[in-house]
Amino acid sequence: MSKLSPLKPIQVIRKLRKLGFIGPISGGRHIRMVHLHKGRDVSVGLIRAILREIDITPEEWNQL
């Protein structure tokens, strides 16, 4: 199994865009890519939650 590591928010956004996601989108009550704070790394736990939500494996994520 591939090991995940914390990433900068812009790296997460770029990978999600490669998968066809659009954003970041502002407004609304739901958490969207816009809520990723610049300058702070996205934790491995949050990356795992994102992967479960979009139904891809860590290996697929690391290949992006």
pLDDT in tens, the chain (64 residues): 678 899 888 888 888 888 888 776 666 665 455 445 666 788 899 899 989 988 999 999 999 8
Q: Give residue 56's pLDDT.
A: 92
Hey, how many other C-beta atoms are within 10 angstroms of the C-beta on 20? Answer: 7
DSSP 3-state assignment of 13?
Answer: helix
**Rounded Cα gap, residues 43 and 51, in angstroms:** 12
**Rounded Cα gap, residues 24 and 45, in angstroms:** 20
Q: Give residue 42's pLDDT.
A: 85
Global pTM reads 0.68
Q: Give residue 31's pLDDT.
A: 47
Token pair for 37: 């704070």
**Rounded Cα gap, residues 61 and 56, in angstroms:** 7
